[in-house]
Amino acid sequence: MEQKNTLTEPVKYDLSFAREIYSLENGYYIKQCMQCGMCAVACSTREIMDYSPRQLFNLIKLGKKEEVLSANTFWYCTSCCTCKARCPRGVPLVDVMHDLKKYAIEQGYDQYPQAAFYKAFWAEVAGRGKVFEGGVTARYYLIRGLDEVKKALAMKDVGMNMLKHKRLPLLPPKKVRGLGDLKKIIHKAQELQRKEARA
């Protein structure tokens, strides 16, 4: 049987995924990346990332949806801003990472614990107007399920110490003033974003 020479066959790229990422709020900047690698050497969590920011941007350009959205790269980004400050092309990497987190959740790639934390944090802020640590924690464990509750119980001493030193309030804070208005603003912003996405 005649064997295919994969080295001489043209590579097919699916650019629809790349176009979708470019259309995110800061996605357009990815096109400016010249693959210099400065972000990779500057990144404090690069060692535990599946791909460096540079590699991730290359995968986006190649249309590798599965690899990009399954990667832990943007979930392990700590928003330290080192890469953003050093990028010679002015790519706002932190903002791009935030966009990718949001996009990954919307696409159902929310398997990392960080995704559960983001969801819990956002639900708390949008619902209360400010963060109540107990609320974020409860929501996080509800999302993550029973196994994570067991892990939380293993850390009960840390929680007790925080309570003792008044670093973890037992009761939720008072409602913020103008919570209704804040909810209207969030609703409006989400509506605008949906419209933009459809356009």
Rounded CA separation 161/191 (Å): 43
Considering the complex, what minimum distance in angstroms separates the CB of residue 61 from ligand SF4? 11
Q: How many residues bind ligand SF4 (CB under 6 A)?
A: 28
Between 95 and 133, whose beta carbon lies closer to ligand SF4? 95
Spatial CB neighbours of 149, under 8 Å, sequence gap ≥ 6: 141
Calculate the CA 8 to chain-centre distance.
38
Integer-rounded Cα Rg, in Å, for the chain is 21
Q: Are 78 and 45 in contact (CB under 8 A)?
A: yes
Between 45 and 137, whose beta carbon lies closer to ligand SF4? 45
Among 78, 107, 111, 190, binds ligand SF4 (CB under 6 A): 78
Between 76 and 141, whose beta carbon lies closer to ligand SF4? 76
Rounded CA separation 27/68 (Å): 14
Considering the complex, what minimum distance in angstroms separates the CB of residue 102 from ligand SF4? 15
Q: How many residues can be counted in the chain?
A: 199
Residue from 41, 23, 26 nearest 90 by CA? 26
Q: Are 168 and 134 in contact (CB under 8 A)?
A: yes
Spell 20-54 as b/e; 16+ CB within 10 A means b: bbbebebbebbeebeeeebbbebbeebeebebbbb
Between 47 and 157, whose beta carbon lies closer to ligand SF4? 47
- Give me the 19-58 binding string for ligand SF4, x by CB under 6 A, dash otherwise: --------------xxxxxxx--xxxx-------xx--x-
Considering the complex, what minimum distance in angstroms separates the CB of residue 104 from ligand SF4? 15
Between 56 and 116, whose beta carbon lies closer to ligand SF4? 56
Residues 79-108 that bind ligand SF4 (CB under 6 A): 79-83, 87-89, 91, 93-94, 97
Considering the complex, what minimum distance in angstroms separates the CB of residue 98 from ligand SF4? 10
**Would you tell me which residues interact with ligand SF4 (CB under 6 A)?**
33-39, 42-45, 53-54, 57, 77-83, 87-89, 91, 93-94, 97
